[in-house]
Amino acid sequence: MTFPKTIALAAILAAGLGAGAVAQEAAATEETAPEAGAEAMADVTAETVVATVGGVDITVGHMIVARKTLPEQYAQLPPEVLWEGILEQLVQQNALAQQAGEPSKETELTLENQRSGYLAGDVLEAAAMDSVSDEALEAKYEELYADAEPQREWNASHILVETEEEAQAVKEEVEAGAEFAEVAKVKSTGPSGPNGGALGWFSKGMMVPEFETAVMAMKAGDLSEPVQTQFGWHVIMLNETRLKDKPDMAAVKDQLTEEVQRAAVDEAIAKAVEAAGVETPEGEIPAAVLNDFSLLED
């Protein structure tokens, strides 16, 4: 039988408070919270001790860090509701940890990995956040879009069937006067069928090559010959085309932010590795040792 490596606060809260009780207590707390609490908070720091377990202090800082890891359904509860559950978790964890004795080799290595992972995450988060500025976003926008040409886009509908014979019959039905959208609703096997086969706007590279080639050779209003792709046979109606100018900066701000942050993170990693220096021993260590869990035994 295996156990989680940390006591789940969510489980403690769920056991102590049913959903209804949580809601009632949260409401009652919000209505009766004393204003004097704001004055008391002025004297509290992250080092303020809230309990001592076997000589080990549990501080407000420990409580806040535990609160930040809560699942969303509990994180939204007011602190007055969460306080006892968080404190109980930390008391139990510390009491049990003090009985653990010397950590195993596997536990020591796990803690080392987790510590370096958390610290690395802090460095990368800081690098990403510090990299975003109006100037950086404008520079990235110019890099990506300054020389961008207007992009051709197509708006098409299609009817997808399994065989060439079915596709030819569909084409002839539409040419005989049937509404393309109505035929698509009845006969198309594709996910766009219920919407009359409408695919909306798309640009180069968004469709499979055979479909794209057929569309690019068409004019608005054209009906294609049957076109085979990996999905089956298509009859395509090209509704219209347009040239789309480069987007406004505001419209791609999220993309620009992601690009700037990714570059900053990559640079931070490269600089850190170079500054630290990396040495590897001579000779080759077989990759198969990754599956030898016995090496972690004391």
Confidence tier at 171 by pLDDT (50, 70, 90)? very high
6, pLDDT greater than 60: no
The set of residues, in sequence order, having a beta carbon less than 8 Å from that of 114 and lying 6+ positions away, is none
For residues 266 and 298, what is the distance between their CA atoms, to the nearest angstrom?
38
The set of residues, in sequence order, having a beta carbon less than 8 Å from that of 230 and lying 6+ positions away, is 208
Could you tell me if 184 and 197 are in contact, meaning their C-beta atoms sit under 8 angstroms apart?
Answer: yes
Could you give the angle at the alpha carbon of 22 between the alpha carbons of 18 and 24, nearest 5°?
A: 115
pLDDT at 66: 94
Confidence tier at 148 by pLDDT (50, 70, 90)? confident
* pTM metric for this prediction: 0.63
113, pLDDT greater than 80: yes
23-37, 160-174, 178-192, 196-210: least confidently modelled range: 23-37
29, pLDDT greater than 60: no
pLDDT at 298: 80
149, pLDDT greater than 90: no
296, pLDDT greater than 90: yes
- Per-residue pLDDT tens over the stretch 57-67: 999 999 999 99
| CATH 3.10.50.40 for the 151-244 domain, yes or no | yes
pLDDT at 78: 92
**CA–CA distances in Å: residue 266 to residues 155, 252, 260, 296:** 38, 21, 10, 33
126, pLDDT greater than 80: yes
32, pLDDT greater than 80: no
For residues 181 and 245, what is the distance between their CA atoms, to the nearest angstrom?
30
- Per-residue pLDDT tens over the stretch 262-291: 999 999 999 999 999 999 998 999 999 999
For residues 59 and 52, what is the distance between their CA atoms, to the nearest angstrom?
9
pLDDT at 14: 62
19, pLDDT greater than 50: no
Which strand (E) or helix (H) includes residue 262?
helix 253-276
The mean pLDDT of the chain is 90
Confidence tier at 11 by pLDDT (50, 70, 90)? low
Here the tokens at position 264 are: 């900053």
List the strands of the sheet with 151-161, edge to edge. Answer: 198-203, 151-161, 232-244, 227-229
For residues 222 and 234, what is the distance between their CA atoms, to the nearest angstrom?
14
Amino acid, res. 126: A
Query: What's the mean pLDDT in 124-135?
Result: 98
For residues 227 and 69, what is the distance between their CA atoms, to the nearest angstrom?
53
Helix (H, G, I), strand (E, B), or coil: what is residue 158? strand
pLDDT at 12: 61
Amino acid, res. 290: L
What's the burial of 66, exposed, middle or buried (CB within 10 Å: 0-12/13-18/19+)?
A: buried
Could you give the angle at the alpha carbon of 110 between the alpha carbons of 106 and 114, nearest 5°?
A: 175
The set of residues, in sequence order, having a beta carbon less than 8 Å from that of 261 and lying 6+ positions away, is 128, 129, 131, 132
Phi-psi sector, 8: left (phi>0), alpha (psi -120 to 50), beta: beta
Query: What's the mean pLDDT in 130-146?
Result: 96
For residues 73 and 9, what is the distance between their CA atoms, to the nearest angstrom?
12
pLDDT at 147: 87
Domain range list for the chain: 9-101, 103-148+250-265, 151-244
CA trace torsion 187, 189, 192, 198 (10° rounding)? -50
- Per-residue pLDDT tens over the stretch 82-99: 999 999 999 999 999 999
- Per-residue pLDDT tens over the stretch 181-198: 999 999 999 999 999 999
For residues 194 and 181, what is the distance between their CA atoms, to the nearest angstrom?
9
134, pLDDT greater than 60: yes
Helix (H, G, I), strand (E, B), or coil: what is residue 52? strand
24, pLDDT greater than 70: no
pLDDT at 40: 64
97-101, 155-159, 188-192, 213-217: least confidently modelled range: 97-101
**What's the DSSP call for residue 223?**
B
